[in-house]
Amino acid sequence: MAKKYIFLRKIKKSDWPHFLKWWQNKDLIKLTSGIFEPSAKKLKKYFLAMVSSKKDSNFVIETKGGKIIGHLVLIYRNKKRTETSIVIGEKKYWGKGLGTQTMEQAIDIAFNKLGYKEIYLEVRPDNLRAVNLYSNCGFKKIGVRKYPKNEFLPKVLMMLLLKEGHN
C-alpha cells in the first residue's frame, strides 16, 4: 500500500472556516450538489447540524502536515447501508491520489468499525475524476437516478460497494 498522506478525523466546530470557503466556491459546487447557497448564516446552521449529528459520521480530510483539504461523510441509511460523499475542497490537492486514500480509509471505517455491509453513493455522471476514483475503489455502477425538480442536478450515477461475502 502507498504511503499514507491523509487522515480522517471527526469534524469539530473550529473547522467551520474551511467548510464556508468550500461551500462558497462556485466551481466546486458545480462538481457536487450544484446548489449554491450565498447565506453564511444558513450554511453555518447546516454545518452545526453536521457537527452534532449522532447518526452520520462526518470527517475532515487532513494531510500528514495538518492541512485540512476536504470533507467525507458516511450517512446512516439503515443498519446495513451507508451513503458516502467526498469533497476535496482544496484544488491544489486534486489529481494526486488523495481521494483514493480517503475513500480507502472510509471503506475501512464503514465496513470494519461501523459494521455496514453496503456503501452507496451518487455522483454527477460528468464528474469523470470522481467516477474513476469510485470505480478504482471497487464501486459498481448500478444505474441512473433522475431528479427532474432539481435544476442543478437533474440526474446522478448511482454506485454501490458491497462488503466481501455479502450480496
In this predicted structure, the answer to whether residue 1 has a pLDDT above a threshold of 50 is no
- Give the pairing of strands 81-88 and 118-123: parallel
Residue 3 carries which DSSP code?
P
pLDDT value, residue 147: 78
At 159, is the pLDDT very low, low, confident or very high (cuts 50, 70, 90)?
A: very high
Mean pLDDT of the chain: 90
pLDDT value, residue 132: 93
> What are the pLDDT digits (tens) for 66-86?
999 999 999 999 999 999 999
Interacting residues of 48 by C-beta distance below 8 A, sequence separation 6+: 13
The boundaries of the domain holding residue 153 are 6-162
Is residue 46, in this structure, part of any structural domain at all? yes
Is residue 20, in this structure, part of any structural domain at all? yes
Is residue 167, in this structure, part of any structural domain at all? no
> What are the pLDDT digits (tens) for 88-109?
999 999 888 899 999 999 999 9
Is residue 33, in this structure, part of any structural domain at all? yes
In this predicted structure, the answer to whether residue 32 has a pLDDT above a threshold of 90 is no
Is residue 1, in this structure, part of any structural domain at all? no
Residues of 96-127 as b/e, b for ≥16 C-beta within 10 angstroms? eebbbbbbbbbbebbbeeeebbbbbbbbbeeb
Q: For the domain that residue 36 is a member of, what is the CATH number?
A: 3.40.630.30
Number of DSSP helices (H) and strands (E) in the chain, helices first: 5, 7
- Quick count: other Cβ atoms within 10 Å of Cβ 18? 19
Is residue 92, in this structure, part of any structural domain at all? yes
- Give the pairing of strands 68-76 and 118-123: unpaired
pLDDT value, residue 124: 87
In this predicted structure, the answer to whether residue 141 has a pLDDT above a threshold of 50 is yes
Coil, strand or helix at 19: helix
The C-alpha atoms of residue 161 and residue 121 are separated, in whole angstroms, by: 9
Q: Which of 165, 112, 110, 118 is nearest to 139 (CA)?
A: 118
Interacting residues of 95 by C-beta distance below 8 A, sequence separation 6+: 129
Coil, strand or helix at 54: coil
> What are the pLDDT digits (tens) for 40-75?
899 999 999 999 999 999 999 999 999 999 999 999
Is residue 97, in this structure, part of any structural domain at all? yes
Number of structural domains found in the chain: 1
Asked if 73 contacts 110 with a C-beta cutoff of 8 angstroms, the reply is no
The alpha-carbon radius of gyration of the chain (Å, integer) is 15
